[in-house]
């Protein structure tokens, strides 16, 4: 009974370690995914001085989406 109890405790500890490891891995993956996603959705607020269009455009965009004039 005691041996069985010890085995269960060891098992539980193993599961606990696995759970913590899985949680940490999940957090890392989530962070990586989130970082990638924010990079893809990296937009800036832009007001066009040519046509007055305003809105969110890609940070890497160089032209106004409405009149196609250079942003800078």
- Chain positions contacting Zn ion, by CB under 5 A: 48, 50-51, 53, 64, 66-67
Nearer to Zn ion, 57 or 64 (CB): 64
Nearer to Zn ion, 20 or 67 (CB): 67
* Burial zone of 71 (CB within 10 Å; 0-12 exposed, 13-18 middle, 19+ buried): middle
* Least Cβ distance, residue 72 to Zn ion (angstroms): 12
Nearer to Zn ion, 9 or 67 (CB): 67
């Amino acid at each position: 009974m005691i041996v069985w109890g010890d085995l269960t405790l060891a098992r539980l500890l193993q599961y606990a370690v696995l759970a913590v490891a899985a949680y940490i891995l999940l957090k890392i993956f989530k962070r990586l995914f989130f970082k990638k996603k924010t990079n893809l959705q990296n937009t800036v607020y832009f007001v066009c001085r040519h046509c007055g269009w305003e809105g969110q455009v890609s940070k890497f965009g160089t032209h106004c989406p409405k009149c196609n004039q250079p942003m800078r």
